[in-house]
Amino acid sequence: MSVRLAADDDWPAILDVHGAAFGDEDIRRLARELHESDVYVPELSLVAVADGAVVGHVMNTWSGVEASTARLLQLSPLGVLPEQQGKGFGSALVRESIEGARRRGEAALLVEGNPKYYGRFGFVRADELGLLPPPEALYDWAFQVIVLDEGVELPQGRVIYSEPFRR
């Protein structure tokens, strides 16, 4: 297994991964629109590769904070082919996202997902640190943050998803 930056020619396989992982077209649409948007961060779009094939993908894109000029990275979507799940590909992509954001000097990384899964990496409820979930969030308890730089004061307020997340 290896994790590397996503290349332009990986995108057909990346979209297939998200379609298979989530079983619908909405996450494929989300990944495609994020990739084509101004919130896309190419150096934090990563693929997991096994036997020369893309088996997983994660991207990290910008979200805003209401009444603020601050922006925070959001880890989403994260997908792994169903037959490859449970083999550590997702965990490797999350860890590399965290380390990549830390190397960039980011203060925090957001995610909306299962706290049992993301808690293993240090994510906590975002509202406990003053970052309220956006209206589109499915569950308040699933909206989380990991603080990457304790010396930086996090912005406070409601997070605003980028346009592709709001469709």
pLDDT category at 17 given cuts 50, 70, 90 is very high
| Separation of alpha carbons 106 and 70, rounded Å | 11
Per domain, the residue ranges of the chain are 2-166
Of the candidates 68, 87, 143, 136, the one whose C-alpha atom is nearest the C-alpha of residue 110 is 143
Asked if omega into 77 is within 30° of 0 (cis), the reply is yes
Q: What is the pLDDT of residues 72-118, one digit of tens each?
A: 999 999 999 999 999 999 999 999 999 999 999 999 999 999 999 99
How far from the centroid of its chain's Cα atoms is residue 6's Cα? 14
Q: Is the pTM of this model over 0.85?
A: yes
Domain range 2-166, CATH class: alpha beta
